[in-house]
Structure 1
Amino acid sequence: MLVAALALLLPATQQTARAQTLAADLAAQYGLATSTQFPFPTATSSSADAQELIVNDWSLGKGRIQEGGNNMDFVADPFPNSSIFSGNNNTSPVLRVTYPQGSFNRQTGGAQFYNLWNSTDGSPFQSMMLSYEVAFDEDFDFVKGGKLPGLRGGLDSNGCAGGSESDGEHCWSARLMWRRFGNGEVYAYIPKPNGLCNARDIRCDDDFGISVQRSKFTWIKGTWNRVTLLVQMNDPVDIANGNIRMYYNDLLAISQENLQLRSASSLNANGLFFSSRHHPGNDDSWATPIDTHAYFRNIQMWGSGNPSTLEGEHVQGASQRTAVPLVIVSLAAMLSGALLW
């Protein structure tokens, strides 16, 4: 894992030796012919004006920001010429999300809303891809973890997050996260059949989501990080052939196949799940010690009515967590903080 993380931190001139894939090329590869880009203002704006633009122009579920509207505004790009990938110098405002000192959950910092994106002919999307750029303050303290935007399916805006598990019929979600020291992962609320929780690079929690391939890349502070997240629905619904792929700075960082994202054909991919919370824990040991920020720009999505065509196993039932001796659990927690949810 350390080798993979270090490889993803190489300067852009060295990364070119690896297989880089731009989001537009990936969309063409997977036949994602429909696309949209989220409009940003041409000038900086206050929180009130930012909320008005997001509500009016970003097609929000139920026409509202769920949480933290006052923590968002549009500001001048803090890192206009700072990027580990080239060709993206920016002069336009960017979306800033504030995490006030001491915040550690959705009631005290960050922001959350759900975008609903429909195809022009009204047919559902069964594959969807999201790409955006995110930056963190140079003094950003990752502490134990935090959420970042991803994708979501279903019209239930309250399920499949915050400890509300997925039953495969009403919703699913796949967000990004940072953990200790900026370690990255995909954090998903999806069903857990066929021993998924015993699979390599999967960490399950009985009451929350699953961590997919934690620490396969590392977020960098004080510069822009580009991410591209692809989710393809399993089809048919009783076959675990769902697909999640995540690219970090145009390099493949996470690839997880053999997934069941849904157990009902009525559940599809519906849009952006903008969920950005600093240290989403249950106590102040997760809290940010200072006022701090994350910044977002160039938010785009692509979609297709075609689900995954990968092979997969027939769904056998929900997986169970493997019992691990307490001494091993404690040692692992001390070494890496990996069991902090």
Structure 2
Amino acid sequence: MHFSAIISLTFGLAGIVPAVLAIPQSPGCNSRSSCTSNNECASGVCRNEICVEVGDPESQVHLVKRVLPEKTSDKCAGGDCGASTSGEGGAAGGSQLISEWKLPGFPSHDLSGFNVVHDKFGKQNRKFIKDPAGENTVLQVIYPAGSYAPGAKPVGGTGFMAQPINLKGARVVAFGYDVFFPAGFNFVKGGKLPGMYGGGPETTGRDSKGFFSSRFMFRTGGEGEAHLDVPLDKQVPGFCKIPPKSVCNPSFGASIGRGAWKFPTGEWVTLSQSIALNTVGKNDGSVIVKVNGKVVIEFHEITWITDSSSGFLGLAFETFFGGGSKDWATPIEQHTLYKNFFIQIVDQL
């Protein structure tokens, strides 16, 4: 397969420099690519997933646009192709214009690569340190002893909203990052991890009209889940029954697939989600969650939006212990680490 167009803008420390990236043509992936499986096959359409070679993993932020020509086939060759649309995008049929933002590391020791639009809390809890598994700079987020929710004292974790890529008109978006829990990390009762958010043009947070989000969350013992803010009264009955366990709470959102994986400690874990918006009035949206490249949650009957003016907006980087009561608090100071952020527009409206 050949790409019909490859246009790359590379944002370096010295400014904006045109560049052409090396895009692996084979369906396989490597340690510095954002996809993790081989080919995807659905509805008789077979196309390769996107593997982007990042080059210097710390000094550049990449914004890549390219068109994937489709290849019709009775079978998918060279990969694990089933009925499940478990690729990063999960969309089939027709050529797709794809845009991608990447932030592998933090060479400038700040958040400039994110394009922060609302810095919410916990600035004092951010540090930039050497990767314990390498030489690059990563983001460290600190949770002081006794901290649990953003409104409680002491303030634990951090929160900001970022819009590093224009998501207007996107129908399917994939995002992900690597997270590191140090050896011996005490998960207590659980806490929030970053994710994507969207809504209308004036959306600033959870209380805004049309707001939706899909984040990650850890629970006791390191159990993982996807935590969704969606209109619960518009969901199909099976939404709140996604295995192994799901809990829907009108006040706090939907905890889906709780225990679908377990976070290890002392090593990096790659988290990613692919989200397809629904058609307004229909339950045809979806979410696919991967951990270290393996699909752990997949559901295709979600209502994300109820108004055509709503859409994807950006990254909701929020992490803290909680829960809104003291029994969620971390008993000691702890921290997590982050790197290798990406957002992909996989399909347009």
- Is 1:302 equivalent to 2:344 in the alignment? yes
Partner of 2:218: 178
1:280 aligns to 2:334 (yes or no): no
Structure 2 unaligned runs (5+)?
1-34, 39-48, 52-86
Report how far residue 199 of structure 1 moved. Answer: 3.2
Q: Kindly provide the amino acid, as one letter, of the partner of residue 37 in structure 2.
A: T
Q: Percent identity?
A: 26
Q: Is 2:260 the counterpart of 1:216?
A: yes
Length, aligned pairs only = 258
Partner of 2:169: 124
- State whether residues 168 and 313 of structure 2, in contact with CA within 8 Å, keep that contact through their aligned partners in structure 1: no
Paired residues of 2:239 and 2:301 also in contact (CA < 8 A): no
Where relative contact order (Cα < 8 A, 6+ residues apart) is larger, the structure is 1
Aligned match for 1:42, one of 94, 107, 110 = 107
CA distance in 2, matches of 1:224, 1:240: 35
Question: CA deviation digits over 1:1-53, x for unaligned, max 9?
Answer: xxxxxxxxxxxxxxxxxx9527845447644611011263337x4xxxx3xxx
8 Å Cα contact 1:234-1:259 kept in structure 2: yes
CA distance in 1, matches of 2:150, 2:294: 31
Bigger shift: 181-190 or 30-39? 30-39
Offset at residue 138 of structure 1 (A): 1.1
2:116 maps to 60
Q: TM-score, normalised by structure 1?
A: 0.70
Q: Which protein is richer in helix relative to its size? A: 1
- In the alignment, structure 1 segments of 5+ residues that lack a partner are 1-18, 81-89, 308-341
Task: Give the C-alpha shift of residue 273 in structure 1.
Answer: 1.0
- Matching residue of 2:37: 21
Hey, which bits of structure 1, 4+ residues long, moved more than 6 A? none
| Aligned partners of 2:142 and 2:157 also within 8 Å | yes
In 2, Cα distance between the equivalents of 1:200 and 1:230?
Answer: 17
Cα offset, 1:91, TM superposition: 1.5
Deviation at 1:117, TM superposition (A): 4.1
Question: Structure 2 matches for 1:98-177, cutoff 5 A?
Answer: 98-107=142-151, 108-119=155-166, 123-154=168-199, 155=201, 158-160=204-206, 164=207, 170-177=210-217
* 1:39 and 1:58 in contact (8 A); partners too: no
Aligned partners of 2:89 and 2:274 also within 8 Å: no
Contact 1:65 1:113 in 2 (8 A): yes
Contact 2:89/2:174 (8 A) holds in 1: no
Equivalent in the alignment of 1:73: 127
In the TM superposition, 1:182-331 aligns within 5 A as: 182-192=222-232, 193=234, 194-196=236-238, 198-201=240-243, 202-235=246-279, 237-277=280-320, 279-306=321-348
* 1:200 shift after superposition: 4.0
Cα deviation digits, residues 180-220 of structure 1 (max 9, x gap) = 11100000000122335653433111311001111010111
CA shift, 1:69, in A, is 1.1
Give the conservation status (yes or no) of the 8 Å contact 2:168–2:311.
no
C-alpha contact (below 8 Å) 1:114/1:157 kept by paired residues: no
The answer (yes or no) to whether the contact 1:27–1:33 under 8 Å persists in 2 is no
> Please, what TM-score do these two structures have when normalized by structure 2?
0.68
- 1:110–1:95 CA distance, 2 compared to 1 (3 A): same
Instruction: Say whether the 8 Å CA contact 1:135–1:225 is kept in structure 2.
Output: yes
Q: Deviations over 1:256-296 (max 9, x none)?
A: 2100000011111111111111x222221111111110000
2:106 maps to amino acid: P
Stretch moving more, 25-34 or 170-179: 25-34
Change (3 A) 1:284 1:198: closer
- Residues 98 and 291 of structure 1 are in contact (CA less than 8 Å); yes or no, is this contact kept in structure 2? yes
Q: Deviations over 1:201-243 (max 9, x none)?
A: 33111311001111010111110001111111002x0010111
Quote the Cα distance in structure 2 between the aligned partners of 1:33 and 1:296.
25
RMSD, matched Cα: 2.4
Tell me how far apart the structure 1 counterparts of residues 102 and 277 of structure 2 sit (CA, whole Å).
22
Aligned residue for 1:86? none
Distance 1:200 1:303, change over 3 A: closer
